[in-house]
Amino acid sequence: MASGKDKSQIGNLKSKIPLLVVVNDDGIASPGLRAAVTALVGMGEVLVVAPRDQQTAAGRAFFGGGVAQPIEYAVAGARVRAFAVAASPALAVRYAVLLLADRAPALVVAGINYGENIGNSVTVSGTVGAAMEAASLGVPALAVSLVTDAKYHYSHDDSIDFSIAAHFAKFFARRILERGMPRGADVLNVNVPSDARRATPWRWTRVARANYYRSLVKKTRRGSCLDGYVLALDNAVPERDADVRAVMLDRVVSLTPLTVNLTARVSALEKARWGGEKKGA
């Protein structure tokens, strides 16, 4: 039996090992999640906390809950502490950081997602939502997504090769651990083209204003309803520095810094034109 001094020494040693929390929105059984865990397992202690079920497009919603269920999870012959939660991705992050982690995480990695999270639909993404939730708790966060055909977005199809996306997940995770988050950024959103290779360049980008996905309207005998979505850019040539252009046209890896501060930059001149601080009519 270890003495109090021995336990203290063990605790001090453990505190020096970075705790990496891995989450996603595709669910605990996702091959994309496993690819991320495999890439990160040698960089510190990994804790996996993921939704029990598929939660694509959950955004930063809070729903579900209950007891976190321990899961047998091993990669590369190493056993990883893992839990499934019957909850949204953002709530799974709260379980990880507030209930299951034995110390402050050094980094939360969300992904690897089936499908790109670019354009103004990033707020729809459960992957980005989980990363934003981590940031709201003061934890550096990285969201990683791989371009895939829409037919795979709600799947756990194991024909998708996540190895290159995992390479970039490890690359950017290591950079965050070594250099810290870029000043002014709370989340780094990484999107990897489907044909990327290890040598593919990466580029700083911003979120494109254009719509990236558009809902399909289906007419039935009872009226109209929404029936899935398609890729349909509002602008055939997206802004030069935007994530959509980088990933879909130039085929480079996109690195977009995001912030939890959603306040629009309205100039003093525009505020004066619109109206000062007056009581509403």
Section 69-81 average pLDDT = 94
The pLDDT-based confidence of 65 (bands split at 50, 70, 90) is very high
Residues 6+ apart with CB under 8 A from 231: 150, 212, 213, 214
Q: Which residue has the higher pLDDT, 238 or 157?
A: 157
Residues 239-248 have pLDDT tens digits of 889 999 999 9
CA distance 121 to 219: 25
Q: Is the pLDDT of residue 11 over 70?
A: no
Q: Which residue has the higher pLDDT, 57 or 9?
A: 57
pLDDT of amino acid 16: 84
CATH of the domain spanning 14-209+239-274 = 3.40.1210.10
Residues 177-210 have pLDDT tens digits of 999 999 999 999 999 999 999 999 999 999 998 7
Average pLDDT, the chain: 92
pLDDT of amino acid 14: 62
Q: Is the pLDDT of residue 3 over 90?
A: no
Residues 14-24 have pLDDT tens digits of 678 999 999 99
pLDDT of amino acid 215: 81
Q: Is the pLDDT of residue 216 over 90?
A: no
Domain boundaries, the chain: 14-209+239-274
Residue indicated by tokens 């497009």? 57
pLDDT of amino acid 6: 55
